[in-house]
Structure 1
Amino acid sequence: MPDSAALPALATPITLVSALEERAFNAWPAHQTVFHQGWVFRLTGGYTKRANSVNALVPGAPFDGVLEAAAALYARHGLPAVFRISPLAPPAADQALADAGYQHFDPSLVLHRPLASGLAAKTDGHTIVSTSPSPAWLDGFAAANGVAAHHRNLHRSILDAIAHPVGYALQRDAQGHAVGFGLAVLERGAVGLYDLAVAPGHRGTGRGRALVQALLHWAAEGGATSAYLQVRAQNVAALRLYESMGFTTAYGYHYRVPG
């Protein structure tokens, strides 16, 4: 994607950006983390960009030497040096990556919304939230989201490494087949929604909304006062769904990948 497709900057307080980024790193832990001059290098065997990318931790952290250090470290682990550029990264970092031939990729949005205490549960009777992933959840999510066989153990290891309370939403159809999946991670009054997926053939039927509602209700019962999630900017259907449920855009981010 050309650089001109970068998402517009939003007037979100940098303190909110930092708080959401921090929670998101905790909610989706990497196997290994290396801290470097206000940046963090995350490595997890190549499964998901978020868990295998370079991220700014400190607003405006200097970029001098970061590209070279990251390229060397990721090469040592047989991985490309992927950079995730959030509002915490200085503009000079994005420009330096572009000048080095790194391609703009996968622009995404972080959405958030407040949660009222005593959020009413709205379920279809087929969505259950539990505190651990069942085999039906693990296998069904992998199939619905196209997780390759050689990445399934990595996915499970990430789930097992989440330190904060987790709710796993599993939705079944009238025949009892697992068709909807999602998880929520609760930390310091904010809940993050991840791994939202509906099996092909069941999409566009309200199942995604029911999954989100069930997870938000679980989080509100646990004391959450706000919620956040990430979504690809090009996923118009998902954006419409989340906006109809009270989510608004906090900020955007994108990746820079080697050319």
Structure 2
Amino acid sequence: MPRSIPTPRMICAVLASASAFAQAAPTAAPVAPPVAAVKPVADTYFGTTVTDGYRYMEDLAAPEVRQWARGQADFARATLDAIPGRAALLARLRQLDDSVKERVVDVTRGAGGLVFYEKRDAGEEQLKLYVRKGFQGEERLLVDPDKSGAGGGPRALEFYSPSNDGRSVAYGVSAGGSEEAVIHVVDVATGKELIEPIDRATFSWVNWLPDDRGFVYMRLQALPAGAADVEKLRNSGVWLHRMAGKGADTLLLAAGV
């Protein structure tokens, strides 16, 4: 997701304006938030009983859960709307935010003087991955997440990891705000995709082998038909991908990580 770093100038400008905004008359006080029902469910793990009072909330489609979530959203909306001068303050924050030409985050110095970084220009929603030769070198777009793979909705760059020799970069892209990353690897010189995308890499990272002939990553399990979506978070494993290899990746650590 986009990351914003407030500057001292921005903070001072907001503070200088806040007193004027606060003069606006407050709206009616918000109502209290809904209280979730407690429905204990007990499980025993290795001889220890663990009680979960809110497991029913894992079913996001249940009418009771949907009603509770809507009540929480209404309470949050009412609380925000009741802040004196909020509309004017928000407008000023957006004005200052839009005045920033670009944002650069997650800078990595690689082999051969290469510099990798994520950048978002003014008006853009998502960070893109760029590379240049040294800090004074010419900037080159390496990865635009919206052009990486299939999937509905906007795509976001979740992580990236240059190889030790700087010739390749592995990165993860998620679609539609899901954070369910798919791993890609591109050639830094050409931008060419080097592997078949690896899905189910949510919460993963890529660690290259010392010789750059492969990398390790974490992958969620493949769900059988009819399984609850929450089950995908169980029994993940650490896998090895060989860049020049054929066939399936190798499981290094058994499921259950």
Band of TM-score, shorter chain: under 0.3
Higher helix share: 1
Which fold has the larger relative contact order, with Cα–Cα distance below 8 Å and residues 6 or more apart in sequence? 1
TM-score, normalisation: structure 2: 0.26
Greater C-alpha radius of gyration: 2
